[in-house]
Structure 1
Amino acid sequence: MAQPITIGANSIAKIGDRFFLIVEVEAKTTGVEIDPVFGVRTTAQQAAALLRAGVKRTKFEDSDPKPTRTTIVELKGVLFANGRIFKVFDVENATSDISVLVRINLAQAQRLIRNGTRIIKVYRKPF
């Protein structure tokens, strides 16, 4: 039987001079599918160690990723980090599951939030 809670997309984002671990937690079982994304501030040393261990770098794009026949794209929320604002997408296909960040302005963020898009929780103090 599969574990009901797993880690989905996970990557290291460098936003300005700060590093963040972007993580999707997936909870799935009969009748339940919960998959929030969180940001966790890390130190430069933690980020470097995680990258060396195989954690991928977060992708930054200029425009929203597009779904294809083999790729699922889901808007997960709005991220406020280090004075910048991003739309966060989960982009998943048969071989990868990664977060993609698209920079937006405050007006765009407010519009998304008013229309029901979640704010991504960020743990701002490194562990």
Structure 2
Amino acid sequence: MDGATRQATITTTWETTSGTAGTMTATDDGPDLEFTAEVVEWRGPAPYCFLVTPPEESEWLADVMPEVTYGWGMIPVTGVIGYTEFTTSIWPRKGTFWVPLKDAVRASEGIELGDLVTVQLTIRA
């Protein structure tokens, strides 16, 4: 395919526990998700910085996860923050998904713990 990547088109409709309905469609026309979140730290064996998906995006990701996960709920994505593009995998945790922010991405964009950051995510199918 001469270096071209293949991305699935996924349409999901959901209803939240509050009764709000919505539809999201993942296509080749741009990012599947875009949201703004605070940079948080998880202190495991090594501290790491993350963005946590908002409720609506978390519900959509939970719906499409069975179609795109490579195991344990991990979803491979390409992310864009500012002018920096990166690849990573997001994973489910307590009803949300956590987006790891690599040191190189944070340094490139001047991101620090507690900053509000807008990220665009495209699922790599």
Which TM-score band (shorter chain)?
under 0.3
Larger relative contact order (CA 8 Å, sep ≥ 6): 2
Greater strand percent: which structure?
1
